[in-house]
Amino acid sequence: MPDGKSLIALVPARAGSRRVKAKNIRPLAGHPLLAYTVSAARASGLFDAVLVSTDSEGIAGVARHYGAEAPFLRPAALAGDRSPDIEWVTHALETLKAGGRSFDGFALLRPTSPFRSPETIRRAWKVFAGAPGADSLRAVELCGQHPGKMWVLNGPWMEPLIKDGPRNPPWHSTPTQALPPVYAQNASLEIAWTRVPLERASIAGERVVPFITEGREGFDINQPEDWWLAEELLRRGEANLPTVDRPPYVVHGQEAPVKS
């Protein structure tokens, strides 16, 4: 493993999904969505283990088919749609540690970013490893909507979300092209040392290094229209999925249907 460090990829895949039903195992281009993140993590060559944290034995079976571990289920109390990441990450790391398996660092890789490649993960690790003193790394991209143009409601009036910007002219009256660049995190990738959640009860810690995603690496599926766009990007050849080295997962004797 890189630089003698032991690393684990943690892939969250709970069963509940309100906006896109069963999205983690919904077929995309012939494989469940989960397969592409597991395959990218395995192919990156960085990890001693790739573990899927799920509250569903069915999803666990899909994970194992594609080469990930799913040695235990996530408690239901940690699998709600408002459950913070720190809870299930700590649960996974502490459960592994209790079984005699400890790791120096982890990557949090969500199945909803199917266009993240093995090279993306390797590039991110290189950035993180080259930042002495960093607690964590987080994937970011330029904001589509600049916060300098955002408002909050206060009774019958509006107030700028960001009040400490320049006054003449204020950001909300400045051309977007003239505003300072602002980056938003995307869901594709996080890396941290395991001591950060285990000792500080935090995913990010205090010193966070940016990883600026390129192209469609940070694309995230959260809404039904995101799924449609993912299929359209694949159809047009404007995005690529990681190679999956396993046959399609079979459910009740039927292969997962191919989405064209």
- Would you state the pLDDT for residue 17? 74
CATH code for the domain of 6:
3.90.550.10
- Would you state the pLDDT for residue 258? 37
Q: Are residues 20 and 56 in the same domain?
A: yes
Nearest to 41 by CA among 51, 55, 53, 29: 51
Q: Are residues 135 and 61 in the same domain?
A: yes
Query: Does residue 41 form part of some domain?
Result: yes
DSSP string for 169-222: S-GGGS-GGGSPP-EEEEEEEEEEETHHHHHHS-SS-S-EEEEE--TTTT----
Out of 181, 204, 239, a domain closes at: 181
Q: Are residues 59 and 164 in the same domain?
A: no
Task: Name the amino acid, one letter, at 30.
Answer: G
Q: Are residues 170 and 204 in the same domain?
A: no
Query: Does residue 46 form part of some domain?
Result: yes
Residue 149 belongs to what domain range?
144-181
Q: Are residues 189 and 169 in the same domain?
A: no
Q: Are residues 188 and 176 in the same domain?
A: no
E strand or H helix that includes residue 90:
helix 85-98
Q: Are residues 67 and 134 in the same domain?
A: yes
- Would you state the pLDDT for residue 251? 62
Q: Are residues 58 and 169 in the same domain?
A: no
Q: Are residues 36 and 130 in the same domain?
A: yes
- Would you state the pLDDT for residue 16? 75
Q: What is the pTM of this model?
A: 0.91
Query: Does residue 229 form part of some domain?
Result: yes
Strand 7-12 to 105-108 pairing: parallel
Task: Name the amino acid, one letter, at 226.
Answer: D
Out of 121, 154, 181, a domain closes at: 181
Query: Does residue 72 form part of some domain?
Result: yes
Mean pLDDT by 10 residues, the chain (260 residues): 88 84 92 98 98 96 97 92 92 97 98 98 98 97 94 96 89 92 95 97 97 96 94 97 95 43
Query: Does residue 57 form part of some domain?
Result: yes
Q: Are residues 152 and 131 in the same domain?
A: no
- Would you state the pLDDT for residue 252? 53
Vertex 114: Cα angle to 112 and 115 (nearest 5): 135
Q: Are residues 103 and 191 in the same domain?
A: yes
- Would you state the pLDDT for residue 81? 81
Bridge partners for 159 per DSSP: 152
Angle between helical axes of 57-65 and 33-44 (0-180°, round to 10): 50
Out of 153, 181, 209, a domain closes at: 181
Query: Does residue 96 form part of some domain?
Result: yes
Query: Does residue 260 form part of some domain?
Result: no
Q: Are residues 202 and 96 in the same domain?
A: yes
Number of folded domains that form the chain: 2
